[in-house]
A and B are shown apart, each in its own frame.
Chain A
Amino acid sequence: MTPTIAVTGLSRRYRGHTALDNISLTVQPGTVTGLLGRNGAGKTTLLRILTGLEFPTAGEVKVFGATPAENDAVLRRMVFVREEQAYPDFRVGHAIRVASWFYPNWSAELAGQLLADFELPLNRRIKRLSRGMRSAVGIVIGLAARAELTLFDEPYAGLDAVARQLFYDRLLADYVEHPRTIVLSTHLIDEVADLLEHVVMLDHGRVALDAPAEEIRGTAMTVSGPASAVDEFVAGGRVWHEQRLASRASVVMPGPFDAAAQARARALHLSLEPLSLQQLLVHASGGAEQEKVCA
């Protein structure tokens, strides 16, 4: 199957700054992919290139097997919801109507439901909306478009936790009914971790991690207990991070932790606690930085 997104050797350089440094990745059709990374890691630049808003300095980008830039046939099959999306001086209802003309799979029914869910006033001018409500307009358009490729770039500025949960729930519910390819760029990793099938993490313009979400979970553990027992357990293995307090130690170790390793930990009275995706990425990006320092 043709990947929905195929990026090969992509670089984007601005004067004196490299936003994307020779990255390659693919996104398979029908998956929910998390595009994760710190601010300035290159997430937005990548999404802008995928949607033809920006051009690569080097490398190749294919969406649905074709180059997206200035390619209307490709661009109509995707929707891009940007952080702090700017709108013309429209009322909410007008913006929704204009969007409905543009997207071939638009669902007026879903749009109506979402407008009610987020309590958006149709007659209010968008520039008079609060930041959170403006974000909600973007979310309504992004979901109701039901585009084959849906790209969300930190779509929830100003949305509170309840509204964000509403977004995740509606996204999942509609994705299940109408499967499509979704890329969700975010730094609220723990909130979205369970929704993701695949994870791509960017760090300083490079791909730090590209793996199925299920593989990433439990790949590293915090091992803690009496320092002597921790030392015995570690015994020359790789350690990402270490903390000691008096006679206790706590280390973060990459896996795999098979049944034998778990039994050994139990025998030593050690507690094993898996790292959350968020903690894991903190260590992964720290590791990438160290590698760069060494290089």
Chain B
Amino acid sequence: MPGLDEGTPLFVQIAGQLADDIVDGQLAEGTRVPSTNELAAFYRINPATAAKGINMLVDEGVLEKRRGIGMFVAAGAREQLLAARRKLFAEQYVGPLVAEASRLGIDSDTLVSLVKESSVSNGGKTR
């Protein structure tokens, strides 16, 4: 199936992929998101599972239901998702990175310069 893994519950993955698209700007605020049925057909999953994923984002205020038309990306959704992800960034990415570096005997200066190098090759900003 396209891009889903066994790890996290399916509905969380559906919500995560929609959230990714909103963060990347693929789904702009105010645009309609795919319906439960469209998601079910695309990911080959039970529509109840797809609905659960959508409802998760509705509960978080990222999507809003417009009666009779469908689900839309709420105003301010992108900022909200970005803020939430920045909060989790240290725990989810920096923590494991530092742990693996110390396991390999990479000291923090080397680690910082590696991060800078990688950032440059990814087109990131340097100071």
Cβ contacts under 8 Å, A173 to chain B: 41
In this complex, the interface size class of chain A, counting residues with CB under 8 Å from chain B, is 20 to 34
Cβ contacts under 8 Å, A218 to chain B: 7-9
Which label, helix, strand, loop or mixed, suits the secondary structure of the A interface? Answer: helix
Question: Would you call B16 an interface residue if the criterion is a C-beta within 8 Å of the partner chain's C-beta atoms?
Answer: no
Cβ contacts under 8 Å, B99 to chain A: 266-267, 269
Known: A173-B41, A176-B41, A269-B103. A195 touches B46 (CB 8 A): yes
Q: A195-B46, A214-B10 are in contact. List 18 more A-B contacts (CB 8 A).
A: A168-B44, A169-B41, A169-B44, A172-B47, A173-B41, A175-B47, A176-B40, A176-B41, A177-B37, A194-B44, A194-B46, A197-B48, A214-B9, A217-B10, A266-B99, A267-B99, A269-B99, A274-B7
Question: Would you call A41 an interface residue if the criterion is a C-beta within 8 Å of the partner chain's C-beta atoms?
Answer: no
The closest CB in chain B to the CB of A169 belongs to B44
- The B69-127 residues at the A interface (CB cut-off 8 A) are 95-96, 99, 103
In this complex, the interface size class of chain B, counting residues with CB under 8 Å from chain A, is 20 to 34
- What is the CA–CA distance of A197 and B10 in the complex, to the nearest angstrom? 11
Question: Would you call A67 an interface residue if the criterion is a C-beta within 8 Å of the partner chain's C-beta atoms?
Answer: no
Question: Would you call A44 an interface residue if the criterion is a C-beta within 8 Å of the partner chain's C-beta atoms?
Answer: no
Known: A172-B40, A214-B52. A195 touches B45 (CB 8 A): yes
Question: Would you call A196 an interface residue if the criterion is a C-beta within 8 Å of the partner chain's C-beta atoms?
Answer: yes
Known: A197-B49, A217-B9. A172 touches B1 (CB 8 A): no
- The B36-68 residues at the A interface (CB cut-off 8 A) are 37, 40-41, 43-49, 52
Cβ contacts under 8 Å, B45 to chain A: 194-195
- What is the CA–CA distance of A65 and B10 in the complex, to the nearest angstrom? 33
Q: A172 and B11: CB pair below 8 A?
A: no
Question: Would you call A140 an interface residue if the criterion is a C-beta within 8 Å of the partner chain's C-beta atoms?
Answer: no
